[in-house]
A and B are shown apart, each in its own frame.
Chain A
Amino acid sequence: MSGHSTYNPSNGFTRWLDSRLPIVRLAHDTAVSYPVPKNLNYWWTFGGILTFILVAQIVTGVVLAMHYVPTTALAFASVESIMRDVNYGWMLRYAHANGASMFFVAVYIHMFRGLYYGSYKAPREVLWILGCLIYLLMMATAFFGYVLPWGQMSFWGATVITNLFGAIPFVGPSIATWLWGGFSIGDPTINRFFSLHYLFPFLIFGVVILHIWALHVTGQNNPAGVEVKNKDQDTVPFTPYATVKDAFGLSVFLIMFAYFVFFTPNALGDVENYTVANPLKTPLHIVPEWYLLPFYAILRAVPSKIGGVVLMFGAIAVLFVLPWLDTSKVRSARFRPLFKQFFWLFLVVCLALGWCGGQMPDNVLFSVGGIDIIVTHLARLLTFYYFFHFLVLFPLLGLIERPKPLPESIAASVLGGKTAAAKA
């Protein structure tokens, strides 16, 4: 897709460098001359937004690590010292904590965009799988990071999640002990979580490079879901077109980010985490951060320990095989009337699962003829649909659905039936 390089070193130094390390050529081919489909909408700016947040999280994180102490005795106090004493510490920590939430806001939009426009389909399977891998690494990183402030929710969240591994038959308890470095979450645990929390963002960075590489091999998908046929008519150069559009999208996103950091920095957190961890007292209601709630709801929906763990991890694992579950050749939901409706239903189901994950499992929703319908019942129904959507509807819809006619080309879809020649 990228074609051959159009980079021309303009002076003696760049010519000298180009024949030794063509790094300027790489940057030029990647971010300047790279052709992007001309019909990309604002849902496509989230890749750039995500890259920005990743860098921002690494920068604020490296700085916070200069003030944080990973021991059970001092972790909580050192975070409080960051908030009260360290110059601008409050801002850096709020930016980092809310940055994690913003990261997930952006990645969920990015993923649902991929689902809507069929960006996971051939030839972009590897691109999609790399994205799923990044998502998995993000969840691990966020989990490690959430333990570090050593509040009540840090401690008990970590206890619940590490105990998930204890559900594995035979070796489970040994794995849990190995993860903890003791018989429960303690000093060895917080220290290693800190080490891994520092490492994982760089792993994410590495996979992001592979993700962008794979993207630039196949070229971007686009709202019409048809491949680029004529580079001149269907695409525009990344700079200035995509650069400026991404910059505008990023600016709007950053306004929302800044609103959270400066006006309501604890809205997305849990007050319980401002109480120091107490291994002898479980909070009445343990909840993970909002971005993990749908999976937590799935975990709790199953009345069996190992079953819950399997379904929870299965809910993520199923994303990896999506390209092979979808039998439709048509990518964009614009031309798939049935798929489109189920897409919106699926989005609602995911949000509802998230809501269930935040509720007490026994809360009564309503009563029918004396029978109480509780949150767990709803969560079971939603969990069923989550898997039904991917495992049954994805293969089935492609077979029974009659897609609308696809546009001839990207240029034709932009010009609404008029040919590119007529426009010219």
Chain B
Amino acid sequence: MADIHAVEPTRRDFLYVATGAFAAIGAGAAAWPLTDQMNPDASVLALASIELDIGAVPVGQEITVKWRGKPVFVRHRTEKEIADADAVDITELRDPQTDDARLVKGIDGKLHPEWLILIGVCTHLGCIPLAYKGEYDGYFCPCHGSVYDTSGRIRKGPAPLNLEVPPYKFVSDTKIMIG
């Protein structure tokens, strides 16, 4: 190293650095509210959960309800649909998950595989898949061709993940609470 004139920092240097640091903190403090204002506010975040009577949905049919501005599919699966979902070798799946892992226990502490509850939003780019369509008679997204099976798991097409299962629980044999 060449000869370095190590000059002692002066009081003025300290003032420069302190002023600059303070200005940077101030700019950051001003930028955060300007950015955060775009996030959902407390009234949106505090969205009440919804309670739903699913007893009226016949076997082999599906209803769609709105939760947090998104559709939720409630599907009363047939024996065949459950059997199809169980028969899949999960090592072949893009997003490996057993059918049982996508269900929630009822108040009797047992799984009720006839009820499949999903967020009806394609994990590719957010379109709403069509039920009972596609190769596996599960779901087919018309936008970019993703195909889901009768457990809502991704089987073909560009979507990376299975259809999401919303947080929900059974409050009676035929009532669920989503959220």
Interface residues of A, Cβ cutoff 8 Å to B? 156, 159-160, 162-164, 166, 177-186, 188, 192, 279-286, 300, 302-306, 308, 361-362
Contacts and interface: CB of A to CB of B under 8 A. Distances in A.
A159 B70 contact: no
Contact of A286 (B35, B41, B127): B127
Given A160-B126, A183-B40, A279 B69 contact: yes
A164 B125 contact: yes
Which 9 A-B pairs have CB atoms at the shortest separation, nearest pair first?
A163-B126, A184-B69, A163-B125, A282-B128, A183-B68, A160-B125, A282-B127, A159-B126, A182-B40
B158 A308 contact: yes
A101 B127 CA distance: 26
A159 B127 contact: yes
A361 B144 contact: yes
Main secondary structure of the interface of A (DSSP, over half): loop
Contact of A181 (B35, B44, B141): B44
Nearest to A376: B145
Nearest to A300: B144
Contacts of B141: 282
Interface in B44-98: 44, 64, 66, 68-71
A389 B46 CA distance: 51
A160 B127 contact: yes
Nearest to B156: A303
B38 A182 contact: no
A160 B143 contact: yes
Nearest to B47: A183
Given A280-B128, A286-B127, 5 more contacts: A163-B124, A182-B68, A188-B44, A286-B143, A304-B160
B159 interface: yes
B39 interface: yes
11 contacts: A159-B125, A160-B143, A162-B126, A164-B125, A183-B70, A184-B70, A185-B69, A281-B128, A286-B142, A303-B157, A306-B160
A130 B127 CA distance: 35
A308 B146 CA distance: 14
A214 to B, nearest CB: 29
Contact of B142 (A177, A185, A282): A282
Contacts of B160: 304-306
A300 B159 CA distance: 11
Interface residues of B, number: 27
Contacts of B39: 177-178, 181
B142 A184 contact: no
B132 to A, nearest CB: 15
Nearest to A162: B126
Nearest to A287: B143
Contacts of B159: 305
A156 B70 contact: no
B128 A304 contact: no
Contacts of B127: 156, 159-160, 282, 286
A183 B69 contact: yes
A304 B158 contact: yes
A179 B158 CA distance: 23
Nearest to A309: B125
Contacts of A164: 125
A349 to B, nearest CB: 22
A179 B35 CA distance: 10
B126 to A, nearest CB: 4
A91 B169 CA distance: 54
A204 B60 CA distance: 54
Contacts of A163: 124-126
A78 B148 CA distance: 39
Nearest to A174: B39
Interface string B114-137: 000000000011111010000000
B69 A305 contact: no
A279 B70 contact: yes
A184 B68 contact: yes
A185 B44 CA distance: 13
A280 B158 contact: no
Nearest to B40: A182
Contacts of B124: 163, 305
Contacts of B69: 182-186, 279
A182 B35 CA distance: 14
Contact of A303 (B44, B125, B158): B158
A182 B158 contact: no
B168 to A, nearest CB: 16
B44 A279 contact: no
Contacts of A178: 35, 38-39
A186 B44 CA distance: 11
Contacts of A166: 126
Contact of B71 (A160, A280, A361): A280
A284 B66 CA distance: 20
Interface string B10-37: 0000000000000000000000000100
A193 to B, nearest CB: 11
Given A160-B126, A280-B66, A285 B142 contact: yes
